[in-house]
Structure 1
Amino acid sequence: MNTSPSTTASTANAAPRRSRSPLELAFRQFLRNRAALASLVILGIIVIACFVGPLFLTNDPAANDWGAISIPPTLLGQHWFGTDELGRDLLVRTLAGGRVSLEVGLLGTLVSGLIGVAWGATSGYIGGRTDAVMMRIVDMMYAIPYMLIAILMMTLLGRAFYLVVLTISAFSWLDMARVVRGQTLSLRTREFIDAARATGVSTPGIILRHIVPNLLGVVVVYATVTVPGIVLTESVLSFLGLGVQEPMTSWGVLINDGAQKLESMPWLLLCPAVMLCVTLYCVNFVGDGLRDALDTKER
């Protein structure tokens, strides 16, 4: 029996298409968000410039060029962002300061995320009195004036890099814990959790192998909100003189130095402030794009 070309074409068109995974659908949805995609590209350029740029530039962040003191930004000379009153190149110092600020933001988000996920998942899954006690502790920590405690800790313990990260992370996990707890309350009633419980999986095993993996989308999205918050907090502490110490620098330290010389050398404030603002805006746009891409209702 001969098969006509039209019948063959209709059979080929009727073949089932390959189903796309949720991760692939989320990736395609993110690519459609032009603002988020452009922000991701700009953010990647800033991160690469801050971490790799100082290695290729000839100037040292702490080196003094006594022949070029307090010169404004220029593309014709060696100092594109200008120099400060000690002849230090502002471009290199801005990139080096951005590296420190980004490291504080990423490490602080990692530490606070681990604490918040562990606390919120445990509280939400166990429930009952344990949940009530754990969340009352979170409420009491919310009532503590965070900035006052941070200033007190930095004054008493010093201003080393790891102390800055620990001080900021000490209170940054509270919002993450609440978000994770709310998601865990809805997950613990799902069928796969009941099946795991029926097969004898322990409580830590259910939390680690079933609850936490299903929270990764929410955690990643909320982490993009935490990073700019921690970077901004570090900048505020550095602006108050409680951040990292020399020879290290950060965007907050540079903004503090530039604010003191705003009338005579405005570029000392403008360059690091623009870098900080652009970075925070890009992270927020990327977070919005991830939120829309991972939201199944949007698809």
Structure 2
Amino acid sequence: MTAPAYSAPHARAPRRTSPALARFLRHRAALASAVLLALIALACFVGPLLLPNTPTDNDWSAISLAPTLQNGHWFGTDELGRDLLARTLTGGRVSLEVGLLGTLVSALVGVVYGATAGFLGGRVDAALMRIVDMLYAIPYMLIAILVVTLFGRAFSLVVLTISAFSWLDMARVVRGQTLSLRSREFVDAARAIGVRPAAIIARHIVPNLAGIVAVYATVTVPAIVLTESVLSFLGLGVQEPMTSWGVLIQDGAQKLDAMPWLLLCPATLLCATLYCVNFVGDGLRDAFDPRER
């Protein structure tokens, strides 16, 4: 009897990285910015839990202390002896939460609104876009200031106020992309077999918008964070005991001559975050660019 032929075990084929992800990983500035942005977010959300000082603790022996490695006050303290590092990280968490929640609301409303207008077309598209044009004519910042002044500065109200107009650009971008998608073969095939328009939008249009939505979200996040910072700088953002980068910058600007670190530390983190998000957006734009496929 002959021994059965030995067959080597089949090796698993290595998983291939998606082309878009591979192009993003080759974008060095975007990759470095993504890593730095992740570190900033991790520091803002986890750092306050690990620090010995809370944002509201008063160290009366270290009032208006300049940044130093002694006494654990690496970013210094303010005129009440509160640790600026703890306040900066806590304020960064609030600013990032406003940016992420506002962008989420903007994406949800903008995608649904824009995809519906672009897919249905005709009079529906014209009517929906005229509403967008009218909303563009409203002075957004004045409305935000009016709403916050009349109804208070609660965190949820600040997010809703900023999100009320931030979805307009997203809707226009999604609408333009949907106009080109609705004439594709897979959409015609879905229509031919009797799929309802709502199902076509949900199953075929929206999934193909993921790239453009991801890219534009990276533009929306810094815009919302910057808007919240402007409102807080004007004294209309979140209120004590909650703080944000805008609140800290507004407080530091008033004491720039005597205590410049109160302005420089939160402003540096805010600028670094905005630059990182913009570079990540550039990397995503290049990764999803059809000319690179």
TM-score bin (small chain): over 0.9
- Residue in 2 aligned with 1:57? 51
Q: What does the per-residue CA deviation read over 1:211-268, in whole Å, with 9 as the maximum and x for residues that have no partner?
A: 0000011000100000000000000000000000110000000000000000000000
Quick one: distance in 1 between partners of 2:15 and 2:282?
23
Query: How far off its partner does 1:295 sit?
Result: 1.1
The letter for the 1-side match of 2:96 is L
Q: CA deviation at 1:75?
A: 2.1
String of CA shifts for 1:170-212, please: whole Å, max 9, x gaps. 0000000000000000000001001001111111101111100
Q: 1:8: which partner in 2?
A: none
Tell me by how many angstroms 1:19 deviates: 11
Residue 78 of structure 2 is aligned to residue 102 of structure 1: no
Counterpart for residue 201 of structure 1? 195
**C-alpha distance in 2 between matches for 1:74 and 1:222:** 40
Distance (Å, rounded) in 2 between the aligned partners of 1:73 and 1:239? 23
| Residue 121 in structure 1 maps to residue 115 in structure 2 | yes
SS for the counterpart of 1:265 is coil
Matched, 1:142 2:136: yes
Residue 278 (1) aligns with residue 256 (2): no
Counterpart of 2:127, as a letter, is V
Q: How much does 1:157 deviate?
A: 1.3
Unaligned runs of 5+ in 1: 1-17
1:215 maps to a residue whose letter is L
Which amino acid letter does the alignment assign opposite residue 241 of structure 2? Answer: P
Alpha-carbon distance in structure 1 between the residues aligned to 2:80 and 2:98: 27
1:182 equivalent in structure 2: 176
User: 4+ residue stretches of structure 1 with deviation over 4 A?
Assistant: 18-21
Structure 2 counterpart of 1:136, one-letter code: R
Residue of structure 2 equivalent to 1:212? 206
2:22 aligns with 28
Query: Residues of 1 paired with 2:131 and 2:14: CA distance?
Result: 45
Which amino acid letter does the alignment assign opposite residue 54 of structure 1? P
Find the counterpart in structure 1 of residue 35 from structure 2.
41
Give, in whole Å, the separation in 2 of the partners of 1:208 and 1:29.
Answer: 28
2:237 counterpart of 1:243: yes
Distance 2:154 2:33 in 1: 32
Change (3 A) 1:122 1:19: farther
In 2, Cα distance between equivalents of 1:277 and 1:188:
40
Which deviates more, 287-296 or 167-176?
A: 287-296
Find the aligned partners of 1:255 and 1:163 in 2 and give their Cα distance.
21
Number of paired residues? 281
Q: Give the aligned residue type for 1:53.
A: G
Code of the residue aligned with 1:289 in structure 2: it is G
Distance 1:65 1:76 in 2: 13
**Per the alignment, in what secondary structure is the counterpart of residue 69 of structure 1?**
coil
CA RMSD of aligned residues (A): 1.3
2:25 aligns to what SS in structure 1? helix
Give the distance between the partners of 1:26 and 1:121, measured in 2 at CA. Answer: 23
Q: Which residue of 2 aligns with 1:152?
A: 146
The aligned counterpart of 1:171 is 165
- CA deviation after TM superposition for structure 1 residue 296, in Å: 2.5
2 CA distance for matches of 1:113 and 1:154?
23
TM-score (norm 2): 0.94
TM norm structure 1? 0.92
Give the distance between the partners of 2:242 and 2:178, measured in 1 at CA: 41
Q: Give 1:80's aligned residue.
A: 74
Which amino acid is the alignment partner of residue 68 of structure 1?
A
